[in-house]
Every structure is written in structure tokens, then in C-alpha cells.
Structure 1
């Protein structure tokens, strides 16, 4: 990166900017990751899931009746054109025909057991660069305070010229020196508060994932029904006219041979 030197550190100006304003939101793509992981879970379960398999990837699943009746699944159903199904025992599973695709084990990607938000970091600058930035900010602030003390004793009126000009913009210099240290300080405490919220949300999602691992009989029955339904609805390769795993001409030849063999069998040849 042009902003980093040979040692991998940010250059001087990039380090100052990072110290003052940080390096952006580490979860800017959180919503995209959320939908990708939910879709992956549905695909890995061949298009049929229970709510408990999706809840570790959601933020708020509500409370009371909203949680009991699984209202939090509505956005997922709308997003992926799904539909709820009721088992003979009255349990609800969710069927997503568009995500019921074939997938070899080799094609399956490792998937996080819950949606994880990343913590905010104060700065990508090195500790040495941060100390240097603090030193510069302190020097600016101390210098502004010293100038203010001199101005209070009438130095500006005696010297005039450049000193008089500096006296005219003194409050600007003092504000700059204060902001240079104040903005990162406020941002530091804001990051601590924000990370506590992120940790709490991650813990809630992780707890839901653990609940799924140690599922009670009701959840196990729902998952069993979902798998049975998926098995019944699953379209295997032998039922497809064409697949994407072989060349189109090869598939034409294979299907033609299968058709000829089937006709010969039916005709008793």
C-alpha cells in the first residue's frame, strides 16, 4: 500500500489521520455477510431449516410471543422467497425452494456457527506512531497555553507584527491543540462503549448456537422433520435433464443414451 512503508507501518500523514479519525467501520459489510451466511446455512441443509438454525445469524429475535411465534423469520422468508411448513406434530420448519441446490462435500465452505461482529480498533498506526502523535498534540496544546499566558501579560501589544497576528488567531490555535487530543480521546471511549455492545451481541448469538448444539427433544424433532422433508424434495442429479458439472455436449450424449436404453427396456429389446 502506498500509505505504508517498508516495515509495514503507515506513513506519517496516514498515521496522524488514523490517530485522529480511526480507520473506518470494521463491520461495514455486516449485512452482506449476514445474508450470505444465512443463505449458506439454508443451502447446507438442502433448502429446509428450522428457526433455531437461523437465529445465531440474526441480531434481535424479539421477546415473548414474537420470539415464540418466530416472527424474526419473516425477513428471511421475504429475502429468499421461503415458506413456512407445519409438521404433523404442529412444528414449523421453513422451506426455500430457490436455495435447494446440489452441493458436493468438496464444494462446501466452512461456515461460522454464528454471525460474528468484529471489534473496532482505535488506530492502525503503530504504538510508536501513536506516542508520536500524542507528543505532537501535547506540544501544540502546551504551546498554545504558553502563548495565552504571554498574551495575558501584554506581550502582543509590545511586539506587534507576527506576534500580533498570532494573538489574533490564538483561540483557533488553542482549539486546534485541544481538538488534536480531544477528538482521539472521545473516540477512544466511544470505541470502548461500542465494543461492549458488539461483545454482548456476539455472546447472544453464540448462546443461541450453543442452544442448537444441545438441542432439546422439541428442536431435535423439528430438525428431523426438516431433514426428512428436504430428502423428499431434494432433486438429485439423476432427476435433472442437465447439470453444470459436465459439458453440455457430453450431457446431450449421456441423456440420449439413457433415453435409448429406456426405450429398449420398455420394448423388451
Structure 2
């Protein structure tokens, strides 16, 4: 039987700690929590990582070297608060509605886009045939043209069907779209993005209906497994740095913001049995000794942070070729035009006998053979429905493009932060406190990228309490002044110094030198259940 100190209600301990934090103004040390709750130190220390993680806490180090648990956003559970529960419920409803809507719209696309396109083209051919038949003077000419029109319509339906269902697979009717970046599809031999070749096209690309879905809903997210890759990189960071890492090293590896890095570190502490600690010089570090107990050789030391995790890939609009996207847009544009045409004339009423409305009148006459109310059927079936569908077909990609653009902006900032922090950490590891902004923007000539990196540098300088020094500016009116002004190089006169970062890295490096990886070796096998 476990002693009472080891057997306890974890939820009750968590509740008492949360109440203590709220009474003490969102921050406290372990000693403060012991005094406020009367709980054993072991129970508090075992429960604190969970509290810090669930309530988005941060760790601070005081001048005396004590760890101060701080909750800058208030002591609110990220999942149990009314706001979090409502947000989670809305997300679930939204995901469910999006999944259902996506499935329904996919089926609608298959029925509507090509179906209506074929129907409209068939109506044009039928109207042309009727017009020719009415004006023909000989029965032979009428029959010949009727047979020719029927053959044209049959071939059109056949070609569109094979293109829709089996393009990219069916021999002789394939297309090969020049994919963007991912290499999907084959080479393109025509400027419109389609290759109507008689060769085997099996495996050259996805069917056209999948490309249409990608046009509307996008292709697979290239970063869908990013969280897993980030975790693997973190474990490698710990193992190559002797089980000791800092928050700044985690940020340099991942490119996360300060709050995001705190959240990730808290989660890693909880999931990988880590613990925060403070060095004798007052540097906050995080130890993960259990991750060092590996059967791999112990010579994996000092791995470079910039090689652990690559830049996060941006999200493409889709993987279709530009030419294929244009053709899909044209196909929907035809439906949009006909839908607007029939809606306009249907609402206007009447049957024009000549001019632009003659085609509408012929279609109404044709539909009178199969419907008692051809005017209503034409208005709704050929006007309103394809018009609404076509507008949605354009609207959804436009909205998605805006969402993708915003996400790519966040990804670009994250990648810039990762780049800048890795440069700062590399300089700090060698004992260099001063950073030249030119080194931060070296290798890029894009003005937006340069501006983004400098914004990130200023953001990081504020977070790390860097010293910013300004050199003496050139005299106004001089050639050097004019050159700087024209190039937008105001940062040329600034120098950034990160003495605290250099001190921290030197402190942590001394600590790592005192850690012997052999102490964590698994050793020889002394028992095997198979023997």
C-alpha cells in the first residue's frame, strides 16, 4: 500500500493550486504554494507541470535563483473555461458542417459543372438544328444536317465523359498538368496546360474531377504532419544537447513566438517527464534526462539547431497547373453565362421571336414537349440553379485564397523568426554579442522579405532586452545619405547587442560540459525474456 503522500487525488490538488494562484495574483513559488495550501511538496511539484500546461503558465527566475510560476493571461483553463468550451463546440460544429458541406458540394460539382456544360452545349446544337430545319427547303438537307448534329452532340458527350472520369488514367485521353512545386503530373506540351496525346497516360496525373475539387477546396496540406516533425526535432534537440535545452534554443529550432514556445515547452515537460531548473548563474534551463536513456551510441552531441527542422512549407492554392485552373474557370464561366442568360429572360417574361432572345424561345419550345410549365422549368433548372452554383464555385476559392494568404503570412513570419533566431544563437554560441543587421538580411534582395526580417529582429531584441546602438548618421545631403535614403537602409546605422543571450549560452555550455552521456547509457543486457 502506498503512503498517503504518494496516493492522492490529483484533480483535488490541481484545484487547490489554481485557487492559490488566483489569490496570490497569478504567480507564486513552490514555497508560496506550500504555505497557501498546506500540501506536501512532492504533490505540488508533481502536479505543477500539468497546471502550467493547462492554464498557459510561464516560468520566471528571480534574482535569488528561485523559479516563479507566472500566468500572464490569467488562471483560466484552456479547455474548461466557458469561453474555451464554447470555442471548442463551435469548432466541432464548424468542422462537421464543413465536412458535410464539402461532401455535398463535391457531389454537386460532379453533377452540375460538367453536366450543365454538356446540357448547354447540347441545347445550342439542338437549337441550331431546329433553326436549320425550319429554314431548310429540301428534306435531304434537313436529314443530313440532323444526322450531323446528332453525331456532333454524341461525340461531345463521349469526350467530356472520358475527360471527366478517366483523364490521367485512360489510355489515349489523358492530360498532364504541369504541377506547381510538388511534381504532380507530367510535362506539358501545350500552352493551355493539357496534353491530348495518344500515348499511355496512366499515372501521369489525377482525374479531372479531382483537379476540379482541388480548384475549389485545395490540395493536401504540405504541413499536415508538422506537429509530429516538430516533436521529433525537439527530441533530437534534447538528445544532441545532453538533455538540457533553453527556451531560446527551442524558439530557434521551431520559429515559434514567445507565447507559443512557452506552451510547447510546458507540453514537452509534461509529456517527456522534464523539469525546469536554474543554473548557479541564474539561467533558466529545462532538463529531460529520460530522453537520454537510449540504445543509440552516445556520440550524438552538439547537433546544429538549424539542421533539426526545416522551414515550414507554405500552402499552395492547389497543385493544378495554371493552364488547367484557367480551363476549369472557363468551364464554370460558360455555365455562369448561360445561367445568367436564362435567369434574365425568364424573369423578363415573354418569348422573343428574334435577336438575342431567340435561343431562349427555342429552348422553351423544346422543353414544352416534356413539361407542362416549361417557363418555370427553364427559369429554375437552366437559370437560377446553375447561376447560384457557378457563383459559389467562384466564391469558395476566393474565400479560401484569402485564408491561405493569411496563413502563408503567418508561416512566412514564423520562418523569418526561425532564421533570425538561428543566426543569433549561432553568434551567441561563439561569444559574439553584437549582431549586424546586414547579416540578418544577407542572401535576399526581396524588399518585403528584408522588411519582415528586420521587424522580427526588432521584436526579438525587445523580448531579449537587447542593447540597440545607433552609429553616427551621414551628413544630410551627402552622397552616402542619399544612397541610404534611396535604398531604405535606415537599419544600416543600428547595431544590436545581446549580452544576456551570450551569457546564458556560455553558462549552459559550461553546464553541459559537466554532463557525462555515459551515465545514461543503457548498458549490457542482463536479462532476456526470450532466453
Name the one with the larger helix percent.
1
Report the count of equivalent residues. 237
Secondary structure at 2:315 match in 1: coil
Q: Which residue does 2:271 correspond to in 1?
A: 79
Does the CA-based 8 Å contact 1:60-1:72 persist in structure 2? no
* Shift, 1:168, TM fit: 3.1
1:156-215: per-residue Cα shift (whole Å, max 9, x none)? 896334544232333222111111222222222332222112212222232222221222
Does the CA-based 8 Å contact 2:276-2:284 persist in structure 1? yes
* Shift, 1:240, TM fit: 5.5
What is the RMSD computed on CA atoms of the aligned residues? 3.4
Does the CA-based 8 Å contact 1:114-1:205 persist in structure 2? no
Give the direction of change, closer, same or farther, for the CA distance of 1:241–1:122 in structure 2 (3 Å limit): closer
CA distance in 1, matches of 2:314, 2:343: 41
Which structure's relative contact order is higher, taking Cα pairs within 8 Å and 6+ residues apart? Answer: 1
- What are the residue-to-residue correspondences of 1:126-141 with 2, within 5 Å? 126-141=321-336
Q: Structure 2: give runs of 5+ residues left out of the alignment.
A: 1-165, 170-175, 177-185, 187-203, 352-359, 434-498
Secondary structure at 2:320 match in 1: coil
Q: Which residue does 2:96 correspond to in 1?
A: none
Secondary structure at 2:258 match in 1: coil
* Shift, 1:114, TM fit: 5.5
Does the CA-based 8 Å contact 1:18-1:123 persist in structure 2? yes
Equivalent of 1:167 in 363, 379, 385 = 379
Does the CA-based 8 Å contact 2:237-2:308 persist in structure 1? no
The TM-score, its normalising length taken from structure 1, stands at 0.73
Equivalent of 2:224 in 28, 36, 39 = 28
- Runs of 4+ in structure 1 deviating by more than 6 angstroms, as ranges, are none
1:202 has 2:394 as partner? no
Structure of larger gyration radius: 2
- What are the residue-to-residue correspondences of 1:1-269 with 2, within 5 Å? 4-5=168-169, 7=186, 8-56=204-252, 57=254, 59-62=256-259, 73-100=265-292, 101=294, 102-104=297-299, 112=307, 116-151=311-346, 152-155=348-351, 159=365, 160=368, 161=370, 163-164=374-375, 165-169=377-381, 170-215=383-428, 216=433, 217-236=499-518, 241-242=523-524
Q: Which residue does 1:255 correspond to in 2?
A: none
* Shift, 1:58, TM fit: 5.4
1:113-138: per-residue Cα shift (whole Å, max 9, x none)? 65632211111112221111011011
The TM-score, its normalising length taken from structure 2, stands at 0.40
* Shift, 1:239, TM fit: 6.7
1:86-110: per-residue Cα shift (whole Å, max 9, x none)? 222222222210122544459x799
